[in-house]
Amino acid sequence: MFKQRKQDPFFSALHKIAVNIREAVHYANDFRIESVADLKELSVRMKQYETAGDKLIHELIVMLNKSFMTPIEREDILALAIRMDDILDGTEGTIAHFEMFSLIEVDESMRNFLSYIVKSVDEIVKATDLLNKKDLVGMRQHAILIKDYERECDEVLRSSIKQLFLNEKDPIRLIKFKDIYEQLEEIADYCQTVANTIETIIMRNA
C-alpha cells in the first residue's frame, strides 16, 4: 500500500496542518512582549494562524467527503487533523488570556513550558513529513519524544504552582499565573494526544 513514491494528498494535507501549527507556536515563542499593545498584536496574529488552520481542516474534510478511497482509515486521518488543531486552538486561547489579563510578564516557568511545546510541534512536523513519505515506522521515534516532553511539562506544572503558592502574595497575580500555567500544560497534553494518535496509525497500518 505504501510502496508508491507519489505523495498522497491526504498525507500532504496533514503535513500542511502541522507546518501551520509549528509556525504559530514558534511565532508565539519568539515574540517579545513589552507592552499591552504587543499583546494585542500577538493575539491578532495568533487568530490569523487559527483561521488558517480552520481553513486547512475544512479543505481536508471536503477531500474526505469526496473520496471513496483513502490511504488509511478516514477516521484516523480526521482524528490526527483535529488533535493537531487542538494544539493551535489551545495556543491561541492562551495568548488571548495573556491579553485579557494584560499580562506582559513571561516568567521562567512559562518559558520552560513553551520550550517543550515548541520541541513537541517540531517533532509533529517531522512525523507528518515521514507520513507524507509513507514511512510509518519512522514516525514512532517522534511520538516517543513528544510524550517525553509532555512528562517534562507535568514536572514544570507541579514545581511552578508549588513556587507560586509559596512566594506570590498577591491573590490576583496568583490566579493569573496559575491559569496560564495550566493552559500551557494543557497544550502539552494536546501534543501527547497527537503522539497517541500517531502511534494508533502506526499500529493499524505499519
Rounded Cα–Cα distance for residues 122 and 140 (Å): 14
Element (H, E) at 119: helix 108-132
Asked if pLDDT for residue 1 goes beyond 50, the answer is no
The ranges assigned to domains in the chain are 9-205
Indicate the pTM of the whole model: 0.94
Asked if pLDDT for residue 127 goes beyond 50, the answer is yes
CB 156 within 8 A of CB 185: yes
C-alpha grid cell for residue 176? Answer: 493569573
Mean pLDDT of the chain: 95
The fold of the 9-205 domain, in CATH, is Methane Monooxygenase Hydroxylase; Chain G, domain 1 (1.20.58)
Asked if pLDDT for residue 172 goes beyond 70, the answer is yes
Q: Which residue has the cell 490576583?
A: 172
Q: What is the pLDDT of residues 63-105, one digit of tens each?
A: 999 988 999 999 999 999 999 999 999 999 999 999 999 999 9
CB 202 within 8 A of CB 139: yes
Rounded Cα–Cα distance for residues 144 and 149 (Å): 9
